[in-house]
Amino acid sequence: MTESVIRVVGLGKSYETAAGLFPALKGVNLDIQPGEFVAIMGPSGSGKSTFMNLLGCLDTPTMGDFFLAGKNVAHMDKDALAILRNRTLGFVFQGFNLLPRMTLQDNVALPLVYAGVDKEMRRARARELLGKVGLGQYAESLPSRISGGQQQRVAIARALVNAPRLILADEPTGNLDSHTSEEIMRLFGELNAEGITIVLVTHEQEIAAHAKRQVKFLDGEIVSDLATDSLPFMAQRAGIPLGKGRAGDGMGAIGADAETHPLAEATKQPTKPPGNGGQVSAYPSLPLVPGDAAPAGHKEGGVPC
């Protein structure tokens, strides 16, 4: 068996609040193998944002261990975490988070500055990746000159610039219309096909359906962990009633299903071998419900504090 990209053992995080210690994450276990494409789902306050922050080495857990590419990062100091974020991970955010005063090329090259790469190399690498996401002609433009979908592509290029084995995406399509979302997800699909492990947080079933594995959070625990192709297609579709699924205020029918699912509490490995995207490729052709086009009220509250 290959070394897990992510192995989480009893990982927990509690916050000090006025009402006492609040456990945002209650000791979860999860194993993600190289080449997987995992969607993390769950309602607001379910602990998924906390989990993503821990995976992204932005935060340190209060209990448990987190092995990133075999190294336990649970007790690393801030600088070591910064180096991991720089070399081992790529981040994609909901709000794109490009620096507005820098050209796209400089934005993409920024992680290389912190990695100490010289200027010519930075330029060449940034050009290469902008070309890869189809925006090579905008290298000298400022982020404000391009559309949201294009900005997200630039953000993905930036995440890829240090050739990480893992991309973490937090609601990467949250600010995009459905058509652009599909494009971005297709890009993630292509990257995954190249062997890059992708973990993304999303609200939307359509987006999660692009992943090969779906992990659901509720109240700081993993309540379901299933390979996407094991989910009955029709039940999945039926489980997203218009309006309810959009509001993000519940887990929908799937969540309800999952709670009664025999595998609900397990942190079971997906049954599908990594890299096989055959089933996944069927999903982008899913007919989209017109009401999906402009998702609103999406911002995750994250951890209550």
Q: Is 158 in the site for another protein (CB under 8 A)?
A: yes
Minimum CB separation of residue 296 from another protein in Å reads: 18
Nearer to another protein, 85 or 125 (CB): 85
Q: How far apart are CA 171 and CA 51, in angstroms?
A: 13
Q: How far apart are CA 113 and CA 116, in angstroms?
A: 5
- Taking CB under 8 A as the criterion, the residue among 62, 97, 269, 279 binding another protein is 97
Q: How far apart are CA 86 and CA 103, in angstroms?
A: 20
Report the candidate in 232, 257, 253 with the shortest Cα–Cα distance to residue 242.
253
**DSSP H or E segment with residue 30:** strand 20-32
Task: Point out which residues pair with 232 in neighbouring strands.
Answer: none
User: Do residues 264 and 224 lie in contact, with contact meaning Cβ atoms separated by under 8 Å?
Assistant: yes
Q: Which x/- pattern over 108-147 shows residues binding another protein (rule: CB under 8 A)?
A: --xx-xxxx--x----------------------------
- Taking CB under 8 A as the criterion, the residue among 15, 22, 67, 93 binding another protein is 93
Q: Which of the stretches 26-34, 105-113, 233-241, 282-290 binds another protein when contact is defined by CB under 8 A?
A: 105-113
Q: How far apart are CA 286 and CA 80, in angstroms?
A: 42
Nearer to another protein, 56 or 174 (CB): 56
Residues that bind another protein (rule: CB under 8 A) add up to a total of 27
Nearer to another protein, 120 or 262 (CB): 120
Nearer to another protein, 16 or 243 (CB): 16
Nearer to another protein, 24 or 258 (CB): 24
Q: Which x/- pattern over 40-59 shows residues binding another protein (rule: CB under 8 A)?
A: -------------x--x-xx
Residue-wise DSSP of 164-233 = -SEEEEESTTTTS-HHHHHHHHHHHHHHHHTT-EEEEE-S-HHHHTTSSEEEEEETTEEEEEEEGGGS-H
Six-digit token string for 133: 């996401």
- Taking CB under 8 A as the criterion, the residue among 75, 101, 179, 186 binding another protein is 101
Minimum CB separation of residue 9 from another protein in Å reads: 22
- Taking CB under 8 A as the criterion, the residue among 162, 197, 202, 224 binding another protein is 162
**DSSP H or E segment with residue 22:** strand 20-32
The sheet with strand 166-170 has its strands ordered as 89-92, 166-170, 197-201, 37-41, 213-218, 221-227
Q: Is 302 in the site for another protein (CB under 8 A)?
A: yes
Q: How far apart are CA 143 and CA 139, in angstroms?
A: 10
Nearer to another protein, 78 or 297 (CB): 78
Which positions touch another protein (CB under 8 A)? 53, 56, 58-59, 78-79, 82-83, 85-87, 91, 93, 97, 99, 101-102, 110-111, 113-116, 119, 158, 162, 302
